Structure 1
Amino acid sequence: MPQVPDTTFTLENVLNDLREAGTEPNRAGMARFGIETDRAFGVPLSVLRPLARSIGPSPDLARELWASGFHEARLLAILLTPPRHLAPELALQWLNDINSWDLCDQLMNVLARRAGSNELVPALAADEREFVRRAAFALIAWRAVHAKTAPESEFLDYFPLIRAAATDERNFVWKAVHWALRQIGKRSLPLHGAALAIAEDLAASENRTARKVGNAAARELSSKKVLNRLNKAADI
């Protein structure tokens, strides 16, 4: 006997669930962290992640949720889209709609798990739009975590992009730049030395924003916690 498809998780039902789960204190908290709340319900990721697990991978529903324009619906859309379904064309289409750091970072978190996503980095970094440029460095940071088999040469090639963007004064850009530099430096001992050298060089820059990037990265990369973990990994 054929199985009756589960229609519980329709666009209308999911949006209703999000409305009911949202709170004004959460909306206020989002606003404090620089997230626009005009079309937000006030639902934290701690609620969205279990909901995404309950629904399961659903690329079609994800597209509907994204088209709704609601902030949490778009976060949920990203969580419901497996990397194999996040084609570069779709990722760039969604990125064009993004005006918040959390959507940007979550989208890049998924995209970084897709083979070949590194090819998008140069064009994203060259884009003048704030969250598109941020996406370049969020993608680098996530690839440093998820792209286990990527060669170290890939990450060395990112250093000129990091240097160039380190003077971008926009808050959501420079913070992503030092995030990328830190994650590269935590990937392996050889990359650590190269990343720390870049960080220290930037920390000595005459440019105020570059100094912030360099100091933030150097501080973490020089910590005993990072050095102990890298040395332990190198001995395995």
Structure 2
Amino acid sequence: MITSASDAAELIAHLETLRSEENVAGMARFGIVTNRALGISNSDIRAIARLAKKNHARAVELWQSDIREARLLALCTAEPKRLTAEEARNWANDFSSWEIVDCAADLFVEARLDDLISEFAADEREFVRRTAFAMIAGAAVHRKKEPDATIFAWLPLIKAYSRDPRNFVRKAVNWALRSIGKRNLACHAPALALARALAESPDKTARWIGKDAVKELAGEKLLARLK
């Protein structure tokens, strides 16, 4: 039985019992890297995390296993207040899948490792750069009490990297822009202005990001909610 006293080896052994080759094949269709996957759903991993509870040292061990589910479990059970920027960098070196990135970004936001955003954005590796914009999106949504100026101060980064055509980067840049714009009226105006500027860009990727963001940010439904 999984408890807060379970160590990394016990958790990994439990994960192995839940292996599903059928699920592994299904995950591959969603662009999830499956060469080290057991085929366990995210909801099941979260259920295990609730039983195992937070344990930072154990999370570090789970990450080192290189198993998809163990790494997701590591991200769910790491202690944000104990996570250091150096640990986040080391984990980012291993990123090879969008779902790991997006889960890690939530943890990094909770750990308030904001200094890594510009650093990760400048990194040429696709999944590390995606992390920066997933963090911006997460901060815009989850940090309700954060000063708005902190949030829309990331708009220049969005503009700077809006021409990266790689799929997992451009989608994250678009996600970050839309998330800022949907936060509240104060953030909406500068985000929509940037979206409209990008929509007129001669660059194909920037133009797609801008047009897609304008479609949502200028929508009547959103405007009614923000007012």
TM-score class, shorter: over 0.9
Question: How many angstroms does 1:8 deviate by?
Answer: 5.7
Tell me what 1:82 maps to: 79
Question: How many angstroms does 1:184 deviate by?
Answer: 0.5
Tell me what 1:13 maps to: 10
Structure 2 counterpart of 1:197, which letter?
A
Structure 2 counterpart of 1:201, which letter?
A
C-alpha RMSD over aligned residues = 1.5
Tell me what 1:165 maps to: 161
Matches of 1:153 and 1:52, distance apart in 2:
35
Distance 1:200 1:52, change over 3 A: same
Matches of 2:157 and 2:37, distance apart in 1:
33
Q: Does 1:228 align with 2:224?
A: yes
Q: How many residues align?
A: 225
Matches of 2:218 and 2:23, distance apart in 1:
35
Matches of 1:51 and 1:110, distance apart in 2:
17
Tell me what 2:150 maps to: 154
Summarize the alignment of residues 128-143 of structure 1 with structure 2, pairs less than 5 Å apart.
128-143=124-139
Q: Aligned with 1:177: secondary structure?
A: helix
Structure 2 counterpart of 1:144, which letter?
A
Cα-to-partner distance string for 1:66-104 (whole Å, 9 max, x where unaligned): 111101100000000121122211111111111111111
User: Can you give the 5+ residue segments of structure 2 that lack an aligned partner in the other structure?
Assistant: none
TM-score (norm 1): 0.90
Matches of 2:55 and 2:207, distance apart in 1:
43
Pairing partner for 2:181 from 179, 185, 206: 185
Q: Which region of structure 1 is more displaced relative to structure 2, 24-33 or 172-181?
A: 24-33
Matches of 1:87 and 1:11, distance apart in 2:
20
Cα-to-partner distance string for 1:46-73 (whole Å, 9 max, x where unaligned): 1000110011111121111111110110
Tell me what 2:64 maps to: 67
TM-score (norm 2): 0.93
Tell me what 1:3 maps to: none
